[in-house]
Amino acid sequence: MPEYVGIRTLKAKTVEIVRNVQRGMRNVVYICGRPAGLLIPTEPVPEPPEQDWWEALYQAGNLPEWKTQRTTDELLDEVRG
């Protein structure tokens, strides 16, 4: 059964209410006596698989070639055009 909370109470006790939602509580938010929204817990988010983030960024094309004999100035000149 959801808890009912007015918008002023939500503003005053946001952290407490959100933490309760994390624990599984549902809240119906009311504005001027009318329901305006529902705060519900999210589904568990799976942990990302272990991987080498630098390698993943490089493979996605988001990093310039980093295994090089060029200097930092040369790489910056290339990136800047």
pLDDT tens-digit map of 20-34: 998 889 999 999 999
Instruction: Check pLDDT > 60 for residue 66.
Output: no
Two structure tokens written together for 61: 């094309």
Instruction: Check pLDDT > 80 for residue 41.
Output: yes
Helix, strand or coil for residue 37?
strand
Taking the whole predicted model, whether its pTM rises above 0.75 is answered as no
Q: Average pLDDT, whole number, for the chain?
A: 84
Whether 25 and 40 have beta carbons less than 8 Å apart is answered as no
Cα(73)–Cα(81) distance, rounded to whole angstroms?
A: 12
pLDDT on residue 40: 93
Which ranges of 1-81 would DSSP assign to H, the alpha helix?
A: 7-12, 14-22, 53-59, 72-80
